[in-house]
Amino acid sequence: MQHHLSKNGFLLLLSSNMMNIRNCEHNEVYQDMTQPLTSYFISSSHNTYLIEDQLRGPSSIEGYIRALMSGCRCVECKSLRICLLTLGLLGWDNGPQVYHGYTLTSRILFKDIIEDAIRVYAFFKTQYPLILSLENHCSIEQQKIMAQILKDNLGDMLHTDPVNPDIKQLPSPEQLKGKILIKCRKLPAGVTEVAEEDSDDEMNSTTSDDLQVKEMLNQKKKKGKIKLAPELSNLVTYIQSVSFQGFAAVRKQGKPYEMSSYSEKKALKLIDDEAGSL
């Protein structure tokens, strides 16, 4: 016995579990996953379709594949408001596009995202539920197409069971294994269409000197309204997007299946104004 390591032996020792500063038991899920979904921080991706910068960069399904393969459990689609005739004139298939509105980023078809990325890679890394966040800027006709694309490609993976409005807490990640939850606005009971304002979490500033980009961003200030198709609304269950009316309103009448998104600027203001009352 020579009582020393060769170079290769030393490298093997350094790469062994014995030298790993990370607890090897944590390579697998070790936390209690039977608590309500709201009890967990969720690994989320913002503007998942962008693989470079948010002003001029390309949009690609690769963004979704990368996010899902790394274990991300919430990915985002911003669907473009544009008429089907215009899509045809631009040489696109009739169907909603996804891109970062009011910028020079490229566009991809919603169908390609669902068919080639979500359907294939949703549960590649883990079986825990995936949230597909839809920022919807489409016409009623295109929303119906989006709903059909989701149903055709995701089938039983979509969670579509009706939600009991009186529930006190959400199901756990363990109970929702293998399910995809759609995050979007939902029509109130008995309503067939409803106007929906643009989301509040869009980018609201830029350091770019490009006049065209600045003009596009300025156009965003003219908030529009769209309507929500029942076909798309019916796919929304436990993650229903609602406008944030303040913490007092949430405490008084908030539901566990309702959630709100807002900008970092608004979040900082809420911390200053309301943190003491929580």
Q: Which two three-digit tokens encode residue 91?
A: 């040489």
Write down the catalytic residue from 4, 100, 137, 159.
100
At 72 the three-state DSSP class reads: coil
Q: Counting Cβ atoms within 10 Å, is residue 260 exposed (0-12), middle (13-18) or buried (19+)?
A: middle
Active site residue 46: yes
Number of C-alpha atoms within 13 angstroms, CB side, residue 37?
24
Residues 6+ apart with CB under 8 A from 171: 36, 37, 238
Active site residue 137: no
Write down the catalytic residue from 3, 4, 26, 46.
46
Residue 75 near residue 59 (C-beta atoms within 8 A) = no
What's phi and psi for 99, nearest 5 deg?
-165, 170
Element (H or E) spanning 141, and its range?
Answer: helix 140-154
* Active site positions, annotated: 46, 100
